Structure 1
Amino acid sequence: MERSNLSDLVGQELGVSDWFEITQDRIDAFAECTEDRQWIHVDPERAADGPFGATIAHGYLTLSLVSAVLAQVRRSDDADMTVNYGADRIRFISPVPVGSRVRGRVELTKLDELDDGVLHLLQTVTMEIEGSEKPAMVAEVLTRMY
């Protein structure tokens, strides 16, 4: 994907990432990094009797995978770098049970060229759960491409 071609892709799907497995080890590592050790995430025994029947990934763990999704889907041959700029809207729609696989589907929603030639991208990322009709998350994320 070339920077000069991005304007032609507004409103289109840019691609779909590989699947990411959501293991208990991944959930536990995220819990340690964020200090969010709520039992629905880190206590498989208690979670088995809880509302989801198993531990679930943190919503923000799912959100954190967006960087990896974008790196896979939106490769640019002529950009020096891209940086996260923020998010306009994030919705956690379905829980992601341990053992699930998720992937991201990316649409280029809007593109602006700033005065300094930097591209400002609004992308809608839908995190899908393998075998589920409802997504785990939908986020409108902002990126700057240099």
Structure 2
Amino acid sequence: MSLLQTALTTATDAALGIWLGTILFFSFVGAPTTFDVLGDDAGQVVNAIFPKYYLLGVGLGAAALVAVLVAGLVTAFDAPRIGLLALVGGGIGMNAYARWVLIPKMDRAGDDAFAQYHKQSVALNGVTMLAVGTALVLSHV
């Protein structure tokens, strides 16, 4: 493996690993702890974090996507690499949708539709977590 390939693999793994770690931490530690400590006031904190959280996912996904694309140009676009691109692209798409479509909908709806949009947000987060985790595994096939 050349130095360039090693650097691209490291960049892909770092971006996907940080992204997955962020999703896991926020989902299972950060958000639940915030609600445990602050109760009803936690919504304000979480609403302030969400735009940055999704933007971070888009940025990390873009970094991984670029690394995978360049690696494909250096070696080849085989089936695992194409699958990896699809998973990362899907994750970016879900984070972008949540950031620029879902969050504004939630803000406009207020408390009335919180349950509906929260359920959608949780589902998107779960699917993104699976996509990023699978992409991390697939990056080593």
Higher relative contact order by CA 8 Å / sep ≥ 6: 1 or 2? 2
**Which TM-score applies when normalising by structure 1?**
0.25
**Which TM-score applies when normalising by structure 2?**
0.26
Greater share of strand residues, 1 or 2? Answer: 1
Greater share of helix residues, 1 or 2? Answer: 2
